[in-house]
Amino acid sequence: MKKLFVCTLLAGASMLAHAAGEAITVYKDPNCGCCESWVDHMRTAGYKVKAINSTDMSSVKKRLGVPEKMGSCHTAVVDASGQVIEGHVPAAAVKKLIAQPAVKGVAAPGMPMNSPGMGKMDGNLVTVEFSGKQFSRD
C-alpha cells in the first residue's frame, strides 16, 4: 500500500512539473507593456516563453482561431498541444488547460484589471473556453 501511495505521489508531481515547464509561444505588440508583464508572470510560474513581436495581431488571432468577441492584446500557443491562450489568462488556468487537451483554447477577454499583467488578482477573474463556457475563476 505504501509503495502504491509513493508511486501515485511521484506520478502526480511529475505531471505538475511537466505542466509548469511547458513551452509557450506568445505573439504580442512590440509596444505593449502589459503583454510583457504577462510574459513575466508566465516565466515566474515556470513556463518557457518565447515572445514574438507582431504588428498584425488580427492576422495572428484569425490564423489561430481566436473568436473575435474574445480578443485581447496578446495571443499564446502551447507549443506541444497547439492549445491557444488569449489575453491575460493566469498561469493556474494555463496549467488546467494543458491538463485538458480536448479544450482548444481559453481567453480572458478584453483587458481585465484583475488579471496578471494588468493588476492585482482578486479571485474573480473568469477565464472562458472559446465555446463561451466558463473555464476557471482565479
With pLDDT > 70 as the criterion, what percentage of the chain qualifies?
86
Average of pLDDT values for 64-80? 96
Q: What pLDDT was estimated at residue 58?
A: 95
Q: Are 55 and 31 a contacting pair, CB within 8 Å?
A: no
Q: What pLDDT was estimated at residue 20?
A: 57
Report the mean per-residue pLDDT for the chain: 88
Confidence of residue 33 (pLDDT cuts 50, 70, 90): confident
Cell numbers 478584453 correspond to what residue?
110
How distant, in Å, are the alpha carbons of 19, 58, 125 from that of 51? 19, 17, 24
How distant, in Å, are the alpha carbons of 32, 63, 123, 138 from that of 91? 19, 23, 13, 10
Confidence of residue 2 (pLDDT cuts 50, 70, 90): very low
pTM, two decimal places: 0.84
pLDDT at 34 over 80: yes
Average of pLDDT values for 25-31? 94
pLDDT at 9 over 80: no
With pLDDT > 90 as the criterion, what percentage of the chain qualifies?
81
What tens digit of pLDDT does each residue of 11-24 get?
444 344 445 589 99
What tens digit of pLDDT does each residue of 119-136 get?
999 999 999 999 999 999
Phi/psi region, residue 132 (left: phi>0; alpha: psi -120 to 50; beta: rest), is left
pLDDT at 101 over 80: yes
